[in-house]
Amino acid sequence: GAVVSQHPSWVICKSGTSVKIECRSLDFQATTMFWYRQFPKQSLMLMATSNEGSKATYEQGVEKDKFLINHASLTLSTLTVTSAHPEDSSFYICSADYRGFTDEQYFGPGTRLTVT
């Protein structure tokens, strides 16, 4: 089946620093990838839709200048959390749109970010 990887799986950083998270589709090309954030005991919240070769589409309330998304190739999207603060600590998950015969989303294993 389709495989999506994320790197790193967990990261601890100091407040004010920036963190880059990579999302890769390993065995298929993904023109669209999605970034989610999940706080403890809450559901996934879509942050943005990442489109290869064009600007990302951000959901309402998500600061595009704080969460920089780059989708430079059909297999890689990156999310950079700039000037991270403790309230940015969360579980960040990406998914890729696998266009076989269905609209199934394949999820990366997630990145747990802790900002101290």
Query: What residue ranges bind another protein (CB under 8 A)?
Result: 32, 34, 36, 42-46, 49, 91, 93, 95, 97, 102-110, 112
Determine phi and psi for 104, rounding to 5 degrees: -65, 145
Determine phi and psi for 31, rounding to 5 degrees: -75, -25
Which of 49/70 has CB closer to another protein?
49
Which of 22/97 has CB closer to another protein?
97
Which of 69/110 has CB closer to another protein?
110
CA-based angle 6:38:3, to the nearest 5?
30
Which of 75/95 has CB closer to another protein?
95
Minimum CB separation of residue 82 from another protein in Å reads 24
Sign, CA dihedral 11-92-33-70, equals negative
